[in-house]
Amino acid sequence: MRHASSTRVRGKISRADTMYEPGDNSIKVLPTDQEIQSEMHNVIDISSRILEANKEISDVLLEGDMALPKTRNAMKCLNDYCKWPKSPSRSVEVPYTIANDFYSNEKAVIESAMKSISAKTCIRFVPRTNQVDYLSIENLLGCWSTVGRSGGKQQVSLSVDGCVSHGIIEHELIHSLGFHHEHTRSDRDQYIRINWDNIPQASAYNFQKKDTDNLNTPYDYNSIMHYGRTAFAKQYGKETITPIPNPSVQIGQRLEMSNVDIQRINKLYDCGEHISLIYYK
Ligand SMILES: [Zn+2]
């Protein structure tokens, strides 16, 4: 069950109204029939946890936790604008702010997740000074992010009711770096079967393939960006995603970035160059 948060003094909780595109009828509504109970969190996957946290939100999200992007496919972006730029030191600085209504222990979890990405890549999350483009980490409704750099103040929602955990924060930050969900990548049909019969029509868009640049990295069942096998199921326990040819492969882990997740960030941002400058020159 959700813990009561009424005793906490919080800032204004509002929807990300700026994410709406007036007149855009393609905006989808999240399902309200999520099957996952929060007491099962120790055994369920990251996607189910995110979807559980997001179930009260409607209209603003794509694929459960991606805000309507200004750049529709960050992994293939013209002129690289959707990537965060390299600094003169060859690292990639991603400025951020964290809203004041997180408790200090929650802020520590968020910053620890940032450091876990920095420790294995050339991404450096830096407290914002006066940068124009930055992540604004806020306690809004649900867990969600835009994919890639959108320009200006870019909200990342980490609701204190279900989103402030290491794996979920990594997942949302990786969206903000430019990555879509693994189960939507362009070659996914060789690795998973989508069970359309188990998916309500209103949720089918969550499973549409994207024209992604897969950076010559293997399809990764263990990616923290992979949804679990019952995400958006019509009925409790029905599989919407089944790995092939081996249906028993685990998917949807929520613990931490996989090696391939790390490899991909390093490829997208040419971090190898950075590493060689630091360690071999
Ligand atoms: Zn996501």
- The CA 171 to ligand 1 mean position distance, Å, reads 6
Can you tell me which residue has the tokens 């450096």?
Answer: 124
- The CA 281 to ligand 1 mean position distance, Å, reads 38
- The CA 131 to ligand 1 mean position distance, Å, reads 26
Measured CA to CA, the distance from residue 33 to residue 96 in angstroms comes to 34
Q: Give catalytic residue positions.
A: 172
Binding residues for Zn(2+): 171, 175, 181
- The CA 277 to ligand 1 mean position distance, Å, reads 33
CA distances from 266 to 170, 174, 196, 261 (A): 15, 12, 34, 9
Binding residues: 171, 175, 181
- The CA 143 to ligand 1 mean position distance, Å, reads 8
Contact (Cβ atoms closer than 8 angstroms) between residue 40 and residue 199: no
Question: Cβ contacts of residue 280 below 8 Å, gap of 6+?
Answer: none
Measured CA to CA, the distance from residue 218 to residue 221 in angstroms comes to 9
CA distances from 186 to 14, 80, 161, 167, 231 (A): 34, 20, 33, 24, 19
Q: Are strands 61-62 and 241-243 parallel, antiparallel or unpaired?
A: unpaired
Measured CA to CA, the distance from residue 182 to residue 172 in angstroms comes to 13
Q: Are strands 192-194 and 153-158 parallel, antiparallel or unpaired?
A: unpaired
**For every one of its 281 residues, what pLDDT tens digit does the chain have, with 9 covering 90 and above?**
444 444 454 443 332 222 222 233 332 222 222 222 222 333 345 667 777 777 656 545 667 787 654 434 345 776 788 999 998 888 999 999 999 999 999 999 999 999 999 999 999 999 999 999 999 999 999 999 999 999 999 999 999 999 999 999 999 999 999 999 999 999 999 999 999 999 999 999 999 999 889 999 999 999 999 999 999 999 999 999 999 999 999 999 989 999 999 999 999 999 985 443 444 32
Dihedrals phi, psi of 84, to nearest 5 degrees: -80, 140
**Ion ligand 1: residues, Cβ under 5 Å:** 65
Dihedral sign of CA atoms 43, 51, 34, 72 in order? negative
Measured CA to CA, the distance from residue 156 to residue 129 in angstroms comes to 18
Question: Can you give the pTM of this predicted structure?
Answer: 0.79
Question: Cβ contacts of residue 281 below 8 Å, gap of 6+?
Answer: none
| DSSP codes, 211-278 | ----TT----TT-TTPPPTTTT-SSTT--SEEESS-TT------SS--HHHHHHHHHHTTHHHHHHHH
